[in-house]
Amino acid sequence: MTMREAWPVFVSLLGSFGLLKHGRVVDLRSGGKSQTLVAELAIQSNHGLERAELLGSLWPRSEPELAAHSLNTLLYDLHRRLGDVLNGQPPIVHQGSTYFLNVPAGIGVDIAAFESAASTGDAARRAGNAEGAKCAYTEAAALYRGDLCVGEDVRHVLDRERLRVRYLTLQDALADILFAEAHYRRALERSLDLLAHDPCREDAHRLAMRCYVRLGERAQAFRQYQLCRSILRAEFDAEPEAATTALFDQVRQDATI
């Protein structure tokens, strides 16, 4: 059973929006008010959102009384759809004027699960527990199906970039662990996935080069260097770092890397 299926209700925002009920998709209109409400509360699952902010986001041009009535209608509809798997509890609750997803009732959010697994991996790595870090990072990477899919204001853009950087950092750490364990093909897959998200990461290019050499594919290591060089020139009109060029020289000299 995947984590997405383990929760009675699970909200996905990484890659694409999804609302799952025991692993099955709940049909919400794409871009509709219910989807927006669930998404905004999922992003702020730890802190919640003020009622005024929700009303302004969902119904910016409506009269306050009409917007409040519309919010109550959305809350009722979501309770009707999801309450049966939450022991009758509402999926959205409020404390004073602050609204939250009812996480204690059994609602999971992929962002929260991703960050929790990433933090577990970080702690294990600091403690020298490579196996524990590898397991946690692998779990986190599986949850990251793409960048945060909602919102274009400053807060959402910052959240999107923060999560993206977190993902790239753990992929880099996971690739390093796999390389140290001589799982060169798997380490290569992680480094190439990292490069698919950020082609300018020289550390990932260098690890890919090392993996190719260990796999007996030295010519591909040369190609990886040339690819790195071409990308940096096109993006920044810059040459590779000294460490990247030194590694290339080692590969050319048939040195052990």
Q: pLDDT tens digits, residue range 231-245?
A: 999 999 999 999 999
Average pLDDT over residues 129-153: 94
**What pLDDT sits at residue 150?**
87
Asked if pLDDT for residue 1 goes beyond 60, the answer is no
Domains and CATH numbers, the chain: 3-109 (1.10.10.10), 182-257 (1.25.40.10)
Q: Which helix (H) or strand (E) holds 10?
A: strand 9-12
What does the alpha-carbon distance between residue 211 and residue 138 come to, in Å, rounded to a whole number? Answer: 19
Q: Is the pLDDT of residue 230 over 70?
A: yes
What would the mean pLDDT of 172-191 be, rounded to a whole number?
A: 97
Nearest to 208 by CA among 136, 198, 197, 193: 193
In the numeric block, which tokens belong to residue 218?
A: 């030295």
Q: Across the chain, what does the average pLDDT equal?
A: 94
Q: Is the pLDDT of residue 5 over 80?
A: no
DSSP string, 135-204: HHHHHHHHH--SSB-S--SHHHHHHHHHHHHHHHHHHHHHHHHHHHTT-HHHHHHHHHHHHHH-TT-HHH
pLDDT tens per residue, range 25-60: 999 888 899 999 999 999 998 899 999 999 998 999
Question: What distance in Å separates the CA atoms of residue 116 and residue 136, rounded to the nearest whole number?
Answer: 9
- pLDDT classification of 3: cutoffs 50, 70, 90: low
Query: What pTM, to 2 d.p., does this model score?
Result: 0.89
pLDDT digits (tens, 9 = 90+) for 69-83: 999 999 999 999 999
The fraction of the chain above a pLDDT of 70, given in percent, is 98
